[in-house]
Amino acid sequence: MVSPAIALAFIPFVFSLLIRYRHYFWLFYRAVLVRCLRDYLTGIPKEDRAFQYIMTHAIPGDPLHILETFDQWSYHCEYLSNLGPQKAKILERLIYEKAPLTVLELGTYCGYATIVMAQALPLGARLCTVEMDARKASVAEKVIRLAGFDDDMVEQVVGPSEEVIPQLKEKYRLFQVDFVFMDHWKRCYLRDLQLLEAHDLLPEGATILADNVIFPGAPHFLQYVKACGKYKWRIHRTSLQYFRGIRDGMAQITYTGLQ
């Protein structure tokens, strides 16, 4: 049995840990504990609860207001791992700068980043967004249509990215991709980038923007991008969406086609 003196000696250490990692403890509380409790009490997944809030508070056909309503929910109600306003500005600026005609999104989630890109795309552009979770895809589909984007502009594909990417040319008539946004499982970033290369889907100058490369991180992806000689790269330093105390970043890479 631990003596009271030894237990007291650990109090400053525990207290310092709580102070140092308070943002991570708060993230765990909001993202895990609150979600589990509300899932149990309501019997409704958090993404569906968020959509109910959007339906009640957002203006249909107004993409910016829908994004703002998502932010209000994520700041004040329940945490959602949406892109968030800080990172959305980076993504939106790149879409305006690059003016891509074909965009591939890997990881639709609730459709937040999809809306950010769709409202910034040039006339006649096409966005294909891939989500492996059918329930989340259903929420995203409703959000995207609520924002006013139809199937001609935003096409949603439900399925694992490693199965969808090899089918993009034949099944989805997407022969090259000018811009790729990655925000799905971080361990899949490298695999899917190499799939895009293997199937000749990246034209010279194509831009890939990958989220969360610092937290939770995608080290193998970054190592490959830096070492393979095919890409120019830079890191946009940000914070985790809705948590300014947690450092994060987005990797912007440009395909040069060189080896």
Identify the pLDDT of residue 2: 47
Mean pLDDT of 85-92: 97
- Spatial distance between the Cα atoms of 111 and 117, rounded to a whole number of angstroms: 10
Identify the pLDDT of residue 165: 98
Identify the pLDDT of residue 176: 96
Mean pLDDT of 117-145: 96
> Which residues belong to CATH 3.40.50.150 in the chain?
84-255
Average pLDDT, the chain: 92
Q: Which residues contact 179 (CB under 8 A, 6 or more apart)?
A: 94, 95, 98, 100, 102, 103, 104, 117, 206, 207, 208, 209
Identify the pLDDT of residue 22: 76
Identify the pLDDT of residue 25: 86
Q: Is the pLDDT of residue 19 over 70?
A: no
- How far the first Cα of the chain sits from its last, in Å, is 63
Q: Which residues contact 6 (CB under 8 A, 6 or more apart)?
A: none
Q: Is the pLDDT of residue 142 over 60?
A: yes
Identify the pLDDT of residue 26: 85
pLDDT confidence band for 13 (50 / 70 / 90) = low
pLDDT higher at 244 or 234: 234
DSSP-assigned letter for residue 171:
T
Query: What's phi and psi for 253, nearest 5 deg?
Result: -125, 145
Query: What's phi and psi for 200, nearest 5 deg?
Result: 55, 45
Identify the pLDDT of residue 259: 61
Specify whether domain 84-255 bears CATH 3.40.50.300. Answer: no
Q: Is the pLDDT of residue 6 over 80?
A: no
Angle at 198 between CA 126 and CA 157, to 5 degrees: 35
Report the share of the chain in percent with pLDDT over 70: 91
| Residues counted in the chain | 259
pTM of the model: 0.92
- Spatial distance between the Cα atoms of 88 and 93, rounded to a whole number of angstroms: 8
Mean pLDDT of 155-159: 96
Q: Is the pLDDT of residue 21 over 90?
A: no
Q: Please name every residue paired with 129 in a beta bridge, in sequence order, or none if there are none.
A: 105, 156
- Spatial distance between the Cα atoms of 80 and 71, rounded to a whole number of angstroms: 9
- Spatial distance between the Cα atoms of 208 and 202, rounded to a whole number of angstroms: 9
Among 2-6, 33-37, 53-57, the least confident range: 2-6
